[in-house]
Amino acid sequence: MPIAMFTADELAVVRRAYAHQVAAAAGTTNPRIEAAFAVVPREKFLGAPPWQVANLGGGYRPLLSSDLVLAYQDALFALQPDKGVNNGSPSLHARLLDELDVQIGDRIAHIGAGTGYYSAVLSELVGATGHVYAIEMDRDLAGHARSALADRANVSVIIADDNQWPQQEMDAIYVNFAVGRPAERWIESLRPGGRLVLPLGVPRQSRPSSSGRHACHGAALRIGRGARGFAARWIGTAYFVCADGGLTVDENEIEALTAAFKRGGIEFVKSLIWKTEPRIGRCWYIGDEWALCYDEP
């Protein structure tokens, strides 16, 4: 068990300071995001110590103390180090959640929920009248999430392949692993005005024995469903562990997406073309029945 070197009141102050730093690093001025990070106990979602944190150059290092206050730093904590699965950077997630524009009462699908830390943050943002569907295909991670989220009536943990959810209309969808293409259900389950935030990424061709397969090119995108189609916007560079299961991409897709990243220009994308013919010469990338284009929707 983690060691408690601080009283509950002292730890509440530590969480508030951590949340303030996370929001500042993310560049968000949304007070609701800072407030959510300030009240969710991150240590519940990290597993048993000794914890490991990701090194900047790759791999992990163990923390020398089990003091739970160490959970409150802007660092990646290993959940499954052999697979490269982490509880990711709080400041990156704060930035992405700001882009998701979560509202009180929203119904949100959290795809790739892991042990549920960011599901808990989402549950704070949607409030008692909203609901978070935490989708996780790994049974061990989902089991941890169910235990850690058991006291949150507005969260449901679902064990399923991530491309099979959501199965109903959603206000927002938050994806927490890199994909080479959006899943059909993510796009078609967005209600009018709905938002999707996902990391688009190309997996490394080598897989180190000490970690999972992460993206070697990656970008976070915001997709919004409007009356005239799907608006798309580049949020910034983002590297996540790559999808498994039904979302695995083939070598042809990897090669084509790699070429698009190397050409550059994703920051100028303005629309997602879905199941219609894109305008040749006006797209950053054209995939199978979808494209990212430079024109407004």
Distance of CA 61 to the CA centre of its chain: 23
- In this prediction, residue 188 carries a pLDDT of 96
Closest to 161 (Cα-Cα) out of 183, 187, 132: 183
SS (H, E, C) the chain: CCECCCCHHHHHHHHHHHHHHHHHHHCCCCHHHHHHHHHCCHHHHCCCCCCEEECCCCCEEECCCCEHHHHCCCCCEEEECCCCEEECCHHHHHHHHHHHCCCCCCEEEEECCCCCHHHHHHHHHHCCCCEEEEEECCHHHHHHHHHHCCCCCCEEEEECCHHHCCCCCEEEEEECCEECCCCHHHHHCEEEEEEEEEEEEEECCCCCCCCCCEEEEEEEEEEEEECCEEEEEEEEECCCEECCHHHCCCHHHHHHHHHHHHHCCHHHCCEEEECCCCCCCCEEEECCCEEEECCCC
CA angle (63 as vertex; 61, 65 as ends), nearest 5: 165
- In this prediction, residue 210 carries a pLDDT of 45
Distances (CA, A) of 43 to 48, 113, 145: 9, 16, 12
- In this prediction, residue 242 carries a pLDDT of 79
Q: d(Cα 293, Cα 297) in Å, to the nearest integer?
A: 9
- In this prediction, residue 239 carries a pLDDT of 84
Q: d(Cα 279, Cα 277) in Å, to the nearest integer?
A: 7
- In this prediction, residue 24 carries a pLDDT of 98
Is there a cis peptide before residue 50, judged by omega within 30 degrees of 0?
yes
Going along the chain from its start, the domains and CATH numbers come out as 89-293 (3.40.50.150)
Six-digit token pair at 257? Answer: 């997406």
- In this prediction, residue 103 carries a pLDDT of 98
Distance of CA 88 to the CA centre of its chain: 8
Give me the tens of pLDDT residue by residue for the chain, a chain 297 residues long.
566 678 889 999 999 999 999 999 999 999 999 999 999 999 999 998 889 999 887 789 999 888 999 999 999 999 999 888 999 999 999 999 999 999 999 999 999 999 999 999 999 999 999 999 999 999 999 999 999 999 999 999 999 998 889 999 999 999 999 999 999 999 999 999 999 999 999 877 655 444 456 666 789 999 999 999 999 999 999 888 877 766 777 888 889 999 999 999 999 999 999 999 998 899 999 999 999 999 999
Six-digit token pair at 78? Answer: 């290993």
User: For the whole model, what pTM was predicted?
Assistant: 0.94
